[in-house]
């Protein structure tokens, strides 16, 4: 990780790290960027379509690079980093009966937090897993229990086959990459950004990943929504 990035955001070299987002705007645009936006039927959009295409191509290339890199991490090392993240999460949010926590089923080398998911459930928290409803639509969250039935969802990722639809107040989202302002590089579908934008109840959003996925910037666009904090292993 480049030293200036580490100093600016307080990233250290400890086994597990987290970074908080304080007093940042909800969207990626800074005041000096406002003249490059126009208001359309779907909100503000980048006027320069070529810039948007360039950013999209860059993100696609960087996404593939970062996923390949994390898949190359030995499985036992990824397991150790997942344990680091789990311990950090317990300290940060202390799961209890007041919480509805959305998690995820691990995919393509993501930190495996299924053990922590069960621990949070045992502490009284209600657990939800995200479900893709349709392209370009927000996710819905369905309740998960240890004995609940699972079925295959998009990309063959297991999701609850039944159970109540929940609205989480803690959203734990896996990330492919991240930048110093806690903007998240995901898989490119925009599902989490649409979901967070549509949520009207208070929530805390925590990105989960590996320290090796740090980027100087993801070139955030107006639709990107930063995480409140990011918790890292490694």
What's the pTM?
Answer: 0.79
Band (20; pLDDT cuts 50, 70, 90): low
Instruction: Give the integer Cα–Cα distance in Å for 222 and 21.
Output: 17
Pairing of strands 229-233, 204-210: parallel
> What average pLDDT does this structure show over 148-170?
91
Which CATH class for the 41-233 domain? alpha beta
pLDDT exceeds 80 at position 11: no
**Which residue do the tokens 């304080």 mark?**
22
What pLDDT does residue 136 have?
81
Taking only the tens place, the pLDDT of each residue in 222-231 is 889 999 999 9
Q: Which of 42-56, 144-158, 197-211 is predicted least confidently?
A: 42-56
CB 227 within 8 A of CB 178: yes
CA distance 214 to 6: 10
pLDDT greater than 90 at residue 2: no
- Tell me which residue has tokens 């609850």: 160
Residue-range domain boundaries for the chain = 41-233
Q: Is the pLDDT of residue 5 over 50?
A: no
Place of tokens 């107040």: 169
Answer yes or no: is pLDDT of 172 > 60: yes
> Quick check: helix, strand or coil at residue 50?
helix
Which segment of 33-42, 121-130, 144-153, 186-195 scores lowest on mean pLDDT? 33-42
Q: Please tell me the predicted confidence (pLDDT) of residue 50.
A: 83
* pLDDT score, position 231: 98
Residue 138 phi/psi, 5-degree rounding, is -60, 155
Average pLDDT on 61-85 reads: 97
Q: Is the pLDDT of residue 100 over 90?
A: yes
């Amino acid at each position: 990780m480049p030293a200036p990035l580490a100093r600016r955001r307080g990233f250290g070299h400890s086994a597990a790290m987290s970074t908080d987002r304080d007093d940042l705007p909800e969207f990626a645009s800074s005041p000096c960027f406002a003249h490059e936006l126009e208001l359309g039927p779907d909100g503000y959009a980048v006027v320069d379509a070529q810039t948007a295409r360039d950013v999209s191509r860059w993100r696609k290339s960087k996404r593939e690079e970062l996923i390949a890199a994390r898949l190359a991490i030995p499985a036992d090392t990824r397991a150790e980093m997942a344990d680091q993240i789990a311990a950090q999460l317990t300290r940060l949010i202390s799961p209890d009966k007041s919480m509805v926590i959305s998690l995820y089923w691990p995919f393509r080398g993501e930190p495996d937090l299924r053990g922590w998911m069960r621990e949070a459930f045992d502490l009284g928290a209600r657990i939800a897993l995200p479900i893709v409803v349709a392209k370009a639509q927000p996710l819905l969250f369905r309740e998960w229990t240890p004995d609940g039935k699972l079925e295959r969802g998009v990309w063959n990722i297991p999701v609850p086959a039944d159970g109540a639809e929940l609205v989480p107040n803690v959203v734990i989202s896996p990330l492919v990459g991240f930048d110093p302002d806690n903007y998240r590089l995901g898989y490119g579908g925009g599902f989490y950004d649409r979901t967070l934008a549509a949520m009207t109840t208070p929530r805390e959003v925590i990105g989960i990943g590996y320290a090796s996925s740090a980027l100087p910037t993801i070139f955030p666009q107006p639709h990107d929504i930063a995480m409140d904090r990011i918790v890292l292993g490694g």
